[in-house]
Amino acid sequence: MPRTRGEFDEYFDDFCATRLEVSPEAQALRDEAVQPRTWLPGKVPTPAIRAMLHERARDLLGVEVSDSDRRALRAFAARAKMGAALRPPQLRLIPSARHNPDD
């Protein structure tokens, strides 16, 4: 297990470059990956999601990212950051992050 952030970055980059592949299951979920239907990720604009995908994942899934996608991500991140700053601390996390499912 990597001990430092730098070691993790090297490990992650190597894994993505040499071992990440598209399984039949991943291919079946390709559209869901770039346009999630679940309640929270579903609020993220599809262009922003495309811009968030790891470069190797984009290559494997055949997802093109445009400058417009990157601008959408910056705009979404700015709105999310402002919204978080305006909320009380107890409302800044999504419910599943505040809740222990084993309780």
Average of pLDDT values for 6-25? 93
Average of pLDDT values for 15-21? 92
CB 21 within 8 A of CB 60: yes
What are the residue ranges spanned by the domains of the chain? 23-87
Average of pLDDT values for 69-89? 92
The DSSP output letter for 29 is T
Average of pLDDT values for 11-40? 85
Query: pLDDT category, 89, cuts 50, 70, 90?
Result: confident
Q: Which of the two residues, 59 and 29, has the higher pLDDT score?
A: 59
Helices (H), the chain: 5-18, 24-28, 30-34, 46-52, 55-61, 67-86, 95-98
**Global confidence as pTM:** 0.69
